A and B are shown apart, each in its own frame.
Chain A
Amino acid sequence: MNLPGAPTAVLPGQRRGHRDDPARRRLPPPGSWLRALRRRRWTVAAALAAIAGLALLVRSWRIDFFGFNSDEVVYAGQAASLAGNPGYTDLFPVFRAHPMLFQALLSPLFRAGEAGMSGRWAVAVIGVLTVLAVYPLGARLYNRRVGLLAALLLAVMPYHVIVTRQILLDGPMVLLSTLTFYCMVRYVQEQREVWYLATAGMLGLTMLAKETSVVLAGSLYAFLALTPAVRRPVRATLLALPALVVVFAAHPVSQALAGRSDSGRNYLVWQLFRRPNHPMSFYLENVPTAIGVLLLVAAAGGLWWARRHSSWRETLLLSWIAVPVVFFQLWPVKGFQYLLPVAVPVVLLGARALVLLPVPARLRWPGRGAPARPVPARAGRLIRLAAVALVASTLAASSWDAVSHQGRTTFLAGSGGVPGGREVGRWLTEHTPEGSVILTLGPSMSNIVRFYSQRQSYGLSVSPNPLHRNPSYVPLNNPDGWLRNNNLHYVVWDAFSARRSPFFADRLMTLVRRYHGRVVHTEYVGTPGASGRVTPVPVVVVYEVRP
């Protein structure tokens, strides 16, 4: 079936044999294409297996080199608590800010002992599944080559690699958002209402992974609004919205049935009124390099040089990018991983551009007065191959660098594990009496220490004002009094929090001095100096304190 207003000619690189491909009617005799199809399937399967292997390699390389960061310990702690792991039930509440789809999935892995790396492996596998899911999407939108190339680019994209090495909700959310995208493409191509319903249901599931993905509903709306050629059946819309609501209702319903109906509301209020945590330039400074500048250039260039061939596909891809970018740019709370859903449309656009890379048909060689000569088809292929190799290798090199580094004294939330955090937590477990209570500089290190040491901990910088703190955090209204009354036994200073909040770092050290602080443990990272010599720099210091 052809869509009204759909392109009547196949775009270069567009999937052949497609329902909206007019050339489909001119198929060769079955005997020859069936063999070719089978051969191609095996080739594709082998290529996908290689890409999946590569994706798994970069996502699992030294996956346990650093312990969990604050967000990871929260999600792992929730999962362990949900599973009834006795080491975590008293320290981590089951319900916090987000729905529990992913945590419920993880919880069987964390039923006993320390909630460890199995969670990260689960996310890495989800990352690989996302890479594989990009292939049918690319193949359906354009062709198999675009699908394979997009999968390859996502496999080695630092942004996706970094996030899918951590127990964060964004990895699973992007897998589900990719499937939502796929359902939408199927709907557009097949115009069957059941795909429309499936899109809504899948979006609901995506929101159950992380509720911020509701912004993708805006992407779908923008796409439908900008593409009048796509049918918008009223009946299906009336059914799709309830489908989305019914699926997402698992979150509030489960909370209500489990006896915690107010947790979500508390978080919503806090999220709506909390102060900006990063400047407006945050995404511009961090995300393009993580996605890959060359890839972005390729995607943008492709859109430009194939603008005359643009169709609903590019509108859908651009809607999938633009709405989250605009929304999160305006939203005061920013996070490194928040824009991850745009990774999939970016790799699709980039792959399309690289496959479509225009190579002049004739070239005038420099220094010769002769007329322009035709460029051989083989040379065109080589140029495209070189461009693909350049983009993919730069991405892979960035990813490899990101997964191989030895640790830094600075830390960007969501960008990986925290050097020294796990080690300090375990040290506290082994060397401090049960019942020890720990004061950290901020709530992030407090989470990490609590998770790994299974000791109660508090963040000094947690605001006593309920409007200015995460509802899960317990403030110490009078830390001085707590120390004086022997209710705090250790103080943990860390370089990452100290860099973010020098005021509280000073205050913490004042308390350390006042309460006879004695260094009992230090964690270092090696920092290469100008001479190339690695100098150990303390990143986490544990003080024993007493009244």
Chain B
Amino acid sequence: MIRPTHVPSSAAASRWARRTTHVALLACLALSAGPSAALARPAPTPGGATPAPGTPAPTPRTATPVEHFIFLMQENHTFDNYFGTRPGVDGLPKDACMPVKRGVPKPCVAPFHIGKLGAIDLDHSADAFRTQYNGGRMDGFVEGVSKQGKDGRMAMAYYDERDLPYYWNVADEYVLFDRFFSSSNSGSIRNHMYRVTGGPGATGKAETIPAQGWGDIPTIFDRLEEAGISWKFYVQNYDPTITFRSRVEEENIDRGAQVIWVPLLAYARYVDDPRLSSKIVDLDEYYTDAARGDLPAVSFIAPAGNSEHPPGNIGSGQNLVRALLTQLMRSPDWSSSAFLWSYDDWGGWYDHVTPPQIDRYGYGFRVPALLVSPYARRGYVDSTTLDFTSALKFIEVNWGVKPLASRDAKAQTFLGAFDFAAPPRPGVLLSAERVSVALHRPDPRPVYASYAVAVGLVAALVVTAALRGRRRSR
């Protein structure tokens, strides 16, 4: 037989060899701690030497073994809405019961499993937040929805492992954050801007995309460009014709949300500059890039129909995340990757944790967030206070780029969710079923015993026959 051809294996070995260096760098980072300016230093070159002028710029080094960071933003759920019933997390309080009217304890609505009720698109505007937050009393979740003419009780519905088996399996195996807040106490536009700029984008009362776009507000991708660090923004069902120029109001054209979920499409320079616009690509490229081991250093992903935005099917959202993770785990880049996904705002659903108000815009309510990486701690619940700018902070720390705004400069990041001292874990394609079908293994003892008796019986017969024959022949 002729020996087979093999697909080139990953560069994991060489990466692994650099792990020790990474740990040392991390220790340095920990020592230089907090101040973002210190963290923003470019990562040192090996041996501390400065590259000689004229020599090609070396590939930017990372402070951790994570060389590929992927950040997916799904839509509109709170932590309690997805993981509130999960043991071991800061989940739904046992005695939770939300007044139908603020300040009036009875009647109230207790959290309930959504069951076969269809999810509705609850109100999730800045107004709704104010009502539900109610000055920190957190008693307006039902009223915040019902005053929009919708069934306010639905705000208290939750999903659990029956509905989200894959996410719960991921949480068993990797990291679940239970103090991850949406950055803004309003809707999608500001939260997505926090995700890429560290700031709200639209200031003041209005939460809209300006007609002329976001102008020159710096994004994390500008930072990456300056530092020569590769990046891509993968967009599901990407339509390059939908930009801030073709969309003024979300309702104006079909799929106008693409401009909100991909804020770069509301920047003239990202739309007009072919070099930059070529990095905003269809999600299909994610699969081919991952398969080839060509994932950029930083990848942002925006969904389309599989965003889990109510009343959308959360199962299809799970399928999308599962497909993305499956491809990542099969990729040669897996051993140096981290995949974070979260939800852009609370979507109107109940969450019991009062969000700290660190400035005028936020935080918003907690949102689900999970981290998958070969270095992620197994089954770990990270309770660090985080928001979307924590992802920016991670990029800034890892690749040594400057912060964008005060939020990301001050943000905590999720380095504690990793265990870089341990070798990278091989990927595990988790089931989309919560309970794996365990086969009942029959008791082997009766099997051995029965056959031993049968063999013994026949042996006894043959020996008896042979011995009797001998005796007679004598």
Contacts and interface: CB of A to CB of B under 8 A. Distances in A.
B355 to A, nearest CB: 34
Interface stretch (B184-192, B194-202, B396-404, B426-434): B426-434
Given A192-B468, A258-B444, A427-B6, A546 B457 contact: no
A194 B6 contact: no
Interface string B194-223: 000000000000000000000000000000
B258 to A, nearest CB: 21
Contact of A431 (B7, B323, B327, B457): B7
A179 B459 CA distance: 11
B359 interface: no
A513 to B, nearest CB: 15
Contact of B457 (A82, A104, A192, A247): A247
Contacts, number: 170
By size class, the interface of chain A is 35 or more
A416 B28 CA distance: 61
A479 interface: no
A523 B4 CA distance: 5
Contact of A524 (B2, B329, B427, B451): B2
A248 B327 CA distance: 52
B461 A104 contact: no
Contacts of B4: 420, 423, 427, 521-524
A249 B431 CA distance: 41
Contact of B461 (A198, A423, A520): A198
A544 B2 contact: no
A197 B465 contact: yes
Interface in B402-453: 426-432, 438-444, 446-451, 453
B282 to A, nearest CB: 13
B291 interface: yes
A332 interface: no
A407 B1 CA distance: 6
A526 B2 contact: yes
A493 interface: no
Contacts of B468: 192, 194
A419 B1 contact: yes
A407 B469 CA distance: 51
Given A520-B7, A523-B4, A254 B450 contact: yes
Nearest to A419: B1
A522 B5 contact: yes
A258 B443 CA distance: 5
Contact of B451 (A208, A489, A523): A208
A466 interface: no
B357 interface: no
A340 interface: no
Contact of B429 (A419, A435, A485): A435
A435 B428 contact: yes
Which of A243, A248, A435, A518 lies at the interface centre, i.e. has the most chain B CB atoms within 10 A of its CB?
A: A435
By size class, the interface of chain B is 35 or more
A547 B457 contact: no
A204 interface: yes
A524 B461 contact: no
B447 A546 contact: no
Given A202-B458, A260-B442, A523-B4, A435 B430 contact: yes
B458 A204 contact: yes
Interface in A175-223: 179, 183, 186, 190, 192, 194-195, 197-198, 201-202, 204-205, 208
Given A186-B465, A420-B1, A522-B4, A259 B443 contact: yes
Contacts of A524: 1-2, 4
Given A433-B426, A435-B429, A544-B330, A82 B447 contact: yes
Nearest to A253: B450
Closest 6 CB pairs of A and B: A257-B446, A435-B429, A258-B442, A254-B450, A433-B427, A250-B454
24 contacts: A89-B439, A89-B441, A90-B439, A94-B442, A186-B465, A194-B464, A198-B462, A201-B458, A201-B461, A202-B462, A205-B455, A205-B458, A243-B461, A254-B447, A257-B447, A257-B450, A427-B4, A432-B330, A433-B334, A486-B326, A522-B4, A524-B4, A525-B1, A525-B2
